[in-house]
Each structure stands twice: as structure tokens, then as C-alpha cells.
Structure 1
């Protein structure tokens, strides 16, 4: 059974969320401050984290950074702040989704379902692909650069894997959302830009003579592969 970690300091909200999540068939545990959440995550990593921003001890951004330093576990940010800047910050820091209070608990459950079922891609002919010093193992969903295993969030990894399956092909934002996020995705297409930005940062030391993630203005994105093994 998949476990959902709720990090929320308001008791009424956390109890209602837990009831809905358990009714949906997940195991669930609750932490009421950031430090407790970080310790709980380290001791027993969950399948997904529902994370409030305004927390005592460590705030939600700090907890998210703690998680991302060691794991690609999906994280849904949950906060009273609804400004566009906060949503962009959450996605840019590696959150997989973002919801503003007030919310309907069944919508949170729907978002959990959507994040956990984001598609993986079948590989035709090979379980891995290598572009010089950059390698993707599709079977284990692992990415390596210069022999080092890179930590990538599930959504960003799915995007990278899709582009690697189709090297040198160009895809629009809309096509990538449909193919990677799924047709039920209701967020902004800005999420694609942010994911590409994070992936470029991770692949900063990938030699350009081997390949690169390219933006084609007005057209879309491609994984340009100059060298394939």
C-alpha cells in the first residue's frame, strides 16, 4: 500500500485530509511541523508528500529542499498563498503540483492520483540509451552523467525520458503536456519551461559536443543528440 505523508500544522485540515486519503485506499501519516516532517521522511520515505508552506520549525520550502537533496519523491505543495510567484517558486524548487487553500479534500485526492499515475514510457528495442557521457536506464528509471547518478523528480524524469526516447525530434509545450503530464493535467504550460530549466541545470556538465536540451523559439523543445552510443 502506498503511503502519503501529510505535513500540515492545522489539526482540522490534517485530520480531514487524512480521512479522505485513507478512504481512497492509501496509508497515511501526519506531521505537524517541518523538523518532524524531515525526520519522518528520512526514517521511512513515503510514496508522496502533501506539504504545507507555512510551518513551525522548518518552513515548507526548507522541507522541500531537504527532500530534494536525497529523493525524487513526489511533493504536492499546499498553502494559503495563491500568488503566481509562489506557485512558480514551488514548481521551480521541484514540487510536482501546487494547491491553494481553501480547497476541497477530494480535489487533493484527485491530484494525488494524478501525480502517482503520471506515465512512464515503454522503450522499444533497448532498456537504456547513451549520449556520450550521459546515460538513461529506462528500466530502473535512473539517469547518469559522467558515471554519477542524478536525482531527478518523477515528473522531470518522465519528461527527460520522453525526450530521450525521441532524440532530435521537436515537441511543443502542448504535446509534452499531453505525452508526459497526461491529458487530465490542469496546470499551466509554464510547468514545461520550469522543468526544462531544472533539467538543464542538472545537465550543466554534459558536453555540448555530445548533446543538449534545446529550446526552439516559437516551436518547442528537443533533446539534441550529437553523439549516441
Structure 2
């Protein structure tokens, strides 16, 4: 059973989310503050975290930063902050999605399903991508650059998988957003900018002059293997 950790300091919202998630056969844990959330993530190892940014003891952005030091668990931010800078900061630190309050329950549940799918291992017949600088094994979800193992998040793997299916070919922004984040995300192009920058920092020998993950401004991305 898929386990979801709901982190929010509003008991009524936690109760509503718990009822709706359990009705759809999710196992639900909850935390009302950052310290409890970090402890639950370490001990319970949830499959998805739904995280509010406005926690009483520590900003949710700092929770994301601390979680990403040791865990790849998908994180869906749930916040009343609508500013794009807040979204970009949360995504840049490793959040997988950002939902603003108020929200529709069906929309949030759909995003939980997408996050769970991203966390599911790849098809065993998927290819390995090898370059002179790094190797990506999509079966085992292992990334190696030189002699160093790299930690990639489920969302980063999903973006690379979508690009690796057509190596060297341009994949449009709309297709990537739809494939990785789901329907309704076709205009959220800042997601691609943030994640492409993250992947370049991890994979490229010179992120400011990429040779593998190429952007065609206003069009899409392509993954080069040579």
C-alpha cells in the first residue's frame, strides 16, 4: 500500500486529506510541524510527502533542503504562497510539484498519483545511456559521473527518461511537461528551466556550456549522447 505523509499545521485540512486519501486505499501518516515531519520521513519512509511551507517551527523550504540531503522521496508542496519565486525556490531545492491553496481535491489526488508513478522503477527493457562523462541506468536508477555516484530525484529521472526515448531529437516543452507532470502543466515552462539547470549541475562537466542536455529556447529539450 502506498504511504503518504501529510505535513500541515491545520488539523482540519490534515483530517480532510487523510479521509480522501484513505478512501482511495492510501496509507496516511501525518505531522503538524517540521521536526515531526523530518523524523517521520527518516523512520516511516513514505512513498510521497505532501508538505505545507508555512510550518510553525521551520519553513517548509528548509524541510525540503534537509530531506534532499538523504532522500529522493517525491515531495508535493502545498502552500498558500502564490509568488513564482516561492515556486522556483521550492522546485530548485528538490520539490517535485507545487500546489497552491485553495486547491481541488481531485487535482491534488491526481498529482499524488503522478508522483507515485514517477517513483516507480522503469521498464526493465529500458536502455542505458552512456556518454564519455556519465552513465544513466534507467533499470536500476543509477547515475554515475566518472567514479562518482549521483543522486537524482524521481522527477529528474522521469525527465531524462522522456528525453532518452528519442536521443538527439527535440522533445517539445508541452510533451515533456505532460509526460513528467501530467495534463494541465503544458504552460508551466519554469518547471523545465529549473530541472534542466539542476541536471546540468549534476551531469555536465561545464554546466554553463552544456554538451548533453540542450535547450531550444521556446521549443523544448534534447538529450545528446555524444
Fold agreement, TM-score > 0.5: yes
Counterpart of 2:79? 79
- Does the 8 A contact of 1:7 with 1:52 survive in 2? yes
Q: Distance in 2 between matches of 1:77 and 1:85?
A: 14
Gaps of 5+ in 2: none
Q: Distance in 2 between matches of 1:16 and 1:136?
A: 40
Deviates more, 1:135-144 or 1:171-180: 171-180
Task: Compute the RMSD of aligned alpha carbons.
Answer: 2.6
User: How many residues are paired up?
Assistant: 225
Change over 3 Å in CA distance of 1:143–1:11 after alignment to 2: same
TM-score normalised by structure 2 residue count: 0.88
- Does the 8 A contact of 1:20 with 1:106 survive in 2? no
SS of 1:117's partner is: helix
After TM superposition, the runs of 4+ consecutive aligned structure 1 residues lying more than 6 A away are 206-210
Gaps of 5+ in 1: none
1:169 Cα deviation after fit: 1.5
SS of 1:152's partner is: coil
1:122 Cα deviation after fit: 4.5
Deviates more, 1:166-175 or 1:10-19: 166-175
- Does the 8 A contact of 1:74 with 1:153 survive in 2? yes
Counterpart of 1:15? 15
1:21 Cα deviation after fit: 0.9
- Does the 8 A contact of 1:215 with 1:221 survive in 2? yes
SS of 1:46's partner is: coil
1:138 Cα deviation after fit: 1.4
| Matched ranges for 1:64-213 at <5 A | 64-118=64-118, 122=123, 127-183=127-183, 185=185, 188-205=188-205, 211-213=211-213
Deviates more, 1:207-216 or 1:53-62: 207-216
Counterpart of 2:25? 25
1:211 Cα deviation after fit: 4.5
